[in-house]
Amino acid sequence: MYSQTKIAIPIFQEKYEDVIEVANDCIDKGADILEFRIDALKKPEIGEIKNTIEEINFPMIATNRINSEGGAFRGSEDERFNILYECCDLVEYVDIELQSDDEYIHKIHDSGVKTIVSYHDFKKTPDLNEIMYIVEKEHEMGDIAKVAFMPQNLEDTLTILAVLSHCNNTIAISMGDLGSYTRVMASKFESPITFAAGTDVTAPGQIDIETMKALLNMDLNIMEE
Alpha-carbon span 225 to 161, nearest angstrom: 25
Q: What is the 3-state secondary structure (H, E, C) of 18-40?
A: HHHHHHHHHHHCCCCEEEEEHHH
Alpha-carbon span 6 to 112, nearest angstrom: 21
At residue 190, φ and ψ (nearest 5 deg) are 55, 35
Catalytic residue among 42, 109, 146, 166: 146
Helix axis angle for 77-87 and 46-56, nearest 10°, is 30
Alpha-carbon span 140 to 133, nearest angstrom: 11
Catalytic residue among 29, 120, 123, 166: 120
Q: Is 146 a catalytic residue?
A: yes
Active site residues: 120, 146
